[in-house]
Amino acid sequence: MLTWSQLLHAAVFFYLVPCLLCGNLRCLYRPVLEKEVKYGHVVTECRSDEVCFKAEGRFGNYSALSASGCMPRKNCRWNHELPYKGVVFTMSYKCCTRPYCNSCLGLTANTLSIALTLLTIVVVAS
């Protein structure tokens, strides 16, 4: 039977080691959908010339669509029109360069990494 300490070490190992060994950025993927639509967490690995993005689709002052994933750095801050279910939305994109930085969570990947590292140190020290 595995202890909590062993499970924590395994989780940290399998989460952090691939991120450290892999040179490509990992981001959360979400296709263009209505904001209210729930979509599971899907991790995608960007190509070497890509960064993470979050997109918002607006119709006038109404924000109705969202998307996220990887895109070429040169397309950041890009706006374009997107027809969706008979309505033309203006899609705008914001990019970031940290792992999972395009998540909607208030907790960033950096904060999560620091918390896991500190927790590992506490567990190892005790």
- Domain ranges for the chain: 4-119
pLDDT tens digit string along 93-124?
A: 999 999 999 986 544 455 556 666 766 776 67
First to last CA, the chain: 20
For domain 4-119, the CATH class is mainly beta
Rounded to two decimals, the pTM is 0.65
pLDDT tens digit string along 61-104?
A: 999 999 999 999 999 988 999 999 999 999 999 999 999 999 86
